[in-house]
Chain A
Amino acid sequence: MMEPKPANPLTRRQLFRGAARMMTMTGLGVAVGALATRGAKGASVWQIDPARCLHCGNCATHCVLEQSAVKCVHAYAVCGYCQLCTGFFAPEPNELTTAAENQLCPTAAIKRTYVEDPYYQYSIDEQLCIGCAKCVEGCNRFGNGSLFLQIRHDRCLNCNECAIARACPGDAFRRVPVEHPYLLKTTSR
């Protein structure tokens, strides 16, 4: 039962309400029409532009998730496979070994494996990476720049307002279409 039978057919209040309802519906319709006809291209997701990234370290601390959705990614085609990798080793390492005092990565997420003389492969263990950009900083400053940060979309919640984007000093975050959600590096610069 919606409401009891009204005593009189239409009160003044009901008239006002009806008019307000009609006007609101019209207004909503206009708004929907104005916005929907823009040709919604489909959903978009957040991504980091590696060319603008300043490797400041905010990605590790500002994500709303405890383990940041930003991880380091390796563009193997750009890598020089150097024995002295400035993204792996701390500046002026004691020795070229994987000992803790020589490594740059605070969580030991980069794995160094011998390929052939004098080349070594450096790969990122995503489970361990926290997105602090120390390796990206080292690689970009003294190396080829093959290490870069990207938002991983199996972790990212795609917030309306990305908390890291707000704090990014290089203004490196932008929205990309969901079909091509990554901005991978293919060249050194």
Chain B
Amino acid sequence: MNASPVYRALVLTAWVAGVFCALLCGVLAYEHFAAATNDPWKSPQLLALKDKLAAEPKNEAAQKEIRQLDLQFRRQFRRRLALDKTGAWLLAAGVVVLALAAGRAVTLKKPLPLPQPKTGGGEQSVRLASRARWSLAGVGLVIAGSLLVVRLGNTSYLPASQAGWQKLLAPSAAQEAPVEDVPALAEFQANWPRFRGWDGSGVSLSGSNAVAGVLWQSAIPAPGHSSPVVWGDRVFISGGTVARREVFCYNAATGALLWQRPLENVPGSPPKVAEVPEDTGYAASTMATDGRHVYAIFANGDLGAFNFDGTVAWTKYLGPWKNPYGYATSLAVWGSNLLIQLDQGDARPAGSKLLSLQGASGRVLWERDRPVPASWATPIVIEAAGKTQIITLANPWVISYALAGGNELWRAQLLENEVVPSPVLAGGYVLLLSPSTSLMALRPDGAGDVTKTCVVWTNEENVPDISSPVSNGELAFTVTSGGMVTCVGVGDGKKVWEKQLDMEVQASPGLMGGRLFVLGEHGPLAMLQAGRKPDDLGRIALADRFVASPAFAGGHVFLRGMTNLYCLGPAAAKSAKQP
């Protein structure tokens, strides 16, 4: 019986089929794991090569390599699909042969039934039943135990109680109230609540007295390039290093330091602070305030909201950011909204977005992805064409979003190079600079891609690369890094006058009381008549280095130097006060 040739043949067939199936499984499994890096859209090798080509567009060798690799991967991909298909059928056939052969072999060897004498009888069945009951209890415990493990290993962030749900689903009073408690527009206009003023135009509606000299100067304990913001009798400024980032509050009249608060322990912010290029520093973004809270953002990704008494209201971590020079876009506020333009990426976009948060709570109202790499311009909010629009600049797109909801209204492909200057609204047009290339005026009333229809005029003379323009509605003024001030008409873009100030300028100019203020990098503060003739109205010498743009409020000018905060004002209160 053992040596039956049929039996031996069947066993042999079964073994061969079994080995065949095992080998085939191995081949298919290997193929599956190898595919993890070899599929044409997943291969890290190919992606690295593509990045390299993006950095050096003319690299022929990289091009050739990419094409070869891509073809190879695609061929492999198709081969793998075909292999899987035939492999599956072959495996099925092998399993069938195995089952049939082995089954038949076993049947041939099956012993005839040989019932043994029974022992125990009734007792045995009682014992078996008892054993079954206990093992059932064991199974029940195992089931209960595993469900317990599932429950313990799980954390739920949803509320447990009815009250908790009610609070979550219905926005609480604490969230609602601050939205109604928004200062009136006039209050925003009277202060300097964000970079270049309430509307980002650089124009102050307050003060008509001439500025004569320094009223007070106070030390700022932390370095930074952000401009001061002013609300009422307070001046806020941010500063920081890799070790510590802080917000400082000074009395606007006396310069006394009222409070300083560090921004630390932001949830999600990595303990090892991201490195930022020294030229930019951690506090290059100007703060913003809506009269109820004051907001600061730092280049490592931390965002914080502070109450006016210095306590922290809320914090958020928005990083990490991929910005070649370091994040420097300033915050913008409009009503109860806090707007953050987070552009990042080197040659290609890498997660740029625009966020709108509810200032009081920090809740993200909406966010929009942006198809642009890093930029350093700050957005402005304008009322035009019947809508409240957020104008953002980056290379190459100017994009306008609706404030409510964040939908894109229009965009234009007009910019080049590294976009640092911010836009302004002047005479119904949006004035913006394509750095070192052109000053343009756009109509903000389009929809969709308006690249060729929105430009009203272009002026390519003396175009700055860093500072933003300023305008009084009829005339627009720009300052180049070399100190050339140019005045053009807002209506037609034609140059009215140009004047060389012989100083290096990094800060953006401002307008107050009909005077144009241009802040030199090593001082002085130059004042010109903001009219059709560039009358010199005087200079105030300052011994410091100034990169931040000036802030204007209540007839005073606030400047941030490397280590000091200065307040300049009319002659009557000219005695320089120390805190």
B40: which A residues are within 8 A, CB to CB?
106-107
Contact between B41 and A132, CB atoms less than 8 A apart: yes
A134 within 8 A of B: yes
Residue of A nearest to B65 (CB): A101
Measured CB to CB, the closest approach of chain B to A95, in angstroms, equals: 9
B348 within 8 A of A: yes
B66 within 8 A of A: yes
Among A67, A101, A142, the residue within 8 A (CB) of B50 is A101
**What separation, in Å, do the CA atoms of A76 and B109 have in the docked complex?**
68
B148 within 8 A of A: no
**What separation, in Å, do the CA atoms of A136 and B39 have in the docked complex?**
19
A100 within 8 A of B: yes
B39: which A residues are within 8 A, CB to CB?
106
A92 within 8 A of B: yes
Interface of A is mostly: loop
With known contacts A67-B81, A91-B348, A94-B57, A106–B71 Cβ distance under 8 A: no
Within A51-93, the residues touching B (CB, 8 Å) are 66-67, 90-92
**What separation, in Å, do the CA atoms of A87 and B347 have in the docked complex?**
19
Contact between B66 and A108, CB atoms less than 8 A apart: no
Residue of B nearest to A132 (CB): B41
Question: Mask for A105-145, Cβ within 8 A of B = 1, else 0?
Answer: 01110000000000000000000000010100000011000
A25 within 8 A of B: no
Contact between B349 and A91, CB atoms less than 8 A apart: yes
With known contacts A66-B81, A91-B348, A100–B41 Cβ distance under 8 A: no
B41: which A residues are within 8 A, CB to CB?
106-107, 132, 134
B20 within 8 A of A: no
B498: which A residues are within 8 A, CB to CB?
none
Residue of B nearest to A103 (CB): B70
Residue of A nearest to B397 (CB): A142
**What separation, in Å, do the CA atoms of A67 and B88 have in the docked complex?**
14
B67: which A residues are within 8 A, CB to CB?
99-101
Within B439-486, the residues touching A (CB, 8 Å) are none
Contact between B371 and A142, CB atoms less than 8 A apart: yes
Contact between A101 and B66, CB atoms less than 8 A apart: yes
Among B53, B71, B348, B369, the residue within 8 A (CB) of A94 is B53
B62: which A residues are within 8 A, CB to CB?
101
Within B32-62, the residues touching A (CB, 8 Å) are 39-41, 50, 53-54, 57, 62
Contact between B371 and A141, CB atoms less than 8 A apart: yes
Contact between A94 and B77, CB atoms less than 8 A apart: no
Question: Mask for B340-352, Cβ within 8 A of A = 1, else 0?
Answer: 0000000111000
Residue of A nearest to B77 (CB): A107
With known contacts A91-B348, A92-B348, A101-B67, A107–B57 Cβ distance under 8 A: no
Residue of B nearest to A109 (CB): B74
Within A133-188, the residues touching B (CB, 8 Å) are 134, 141-142
Among A66, A106, A134, the residue within 8 A (CB) of B84 is A66
B63 within 8 A of A: yes
**What separation, in Å, do the CA atoms of A22 and B465 have in the docked complex?**
90
Within B361-404, the residues touching A (CB, 8 Å) are 369, 371
Residue of A nearest to B67 (CB): A100
- Sample of 19 more A-B contacts, CB < 8 Å, known A66-B85, A100-B67, A107-B40: A66-B81, A66-B84, A67-B81, A90-B50, A91-B348, A92-B54, A94-B53, A94-B63, A99-B63, A99-B67, A100-B70, A101-B62, A101-B63, A101-B66, A106-B41, A107-B41, A108-B74, A141-B369, A142-B371
Would you list the 8 A-B pairs with minimal beta carbon distance, nearest first?
Answer: A106-B41, A100-B70, A106-B40, A100-B67, A101-B66, A100-B66, A94-B57, A91-B348
